[in-house]
Amino acid sequence: MSSIWNDSDRNQQEVEPFSPADWRTGGRLTKRLSQRELEVVHYAIQGLTGEKIAKEMLISYETVKDHKAHAIRKLEARNYLHAVAMILQER
């Protein structure tokens, strides 16, 4: 398991690694998203910020924002929080 420092740098937060197989068994909403979009959602559900997601996935923060925007559009959500809530309801 990899670790990400929390904002205060006092403790380490354990992050569950992303497993595409765990997500592909989901419902119709998860099937609309790419693997990288699902990975961003996975880390967001664990409470990681966009910056921490970027570090975990080894991509830029701008790319994380792009993945979030694509998920919102594909799920026809009002915003990213709504998109994540829709995915959680389906699981």
- Model pLDDT for residues 9-61, shown as the tens digit of each residue: 434 567 777 676 666 666 788 888 999 999 999 899 899 999 999 999 999 99
Residue at 18: amino acid letter: F
Q: Is 15 strand, coil or helix?
A: strand
**In the prediction, which pLDDT does 88 show?**
87
Q: Which residues pair with 64 in a beta bridge?
A: none
Residue at 89: amino acid letter: Q
**In the prediction, which pLDDT does 2 show?**
47
Contact 40, 75 (CB under 8 A): no
The Cα-based distances of 44 to 68, 71 in angstroms read 10, 12
Looking at CATH, the fold of the domain delimited by 20-90 is given as Arc Repressor Mutant, subunit A (1.10.10)
Q: Which residues are within 8 A (CB) of 44 and not within 5 positions of it... i.e. 6 or more apart?
A: 53, 80, 84
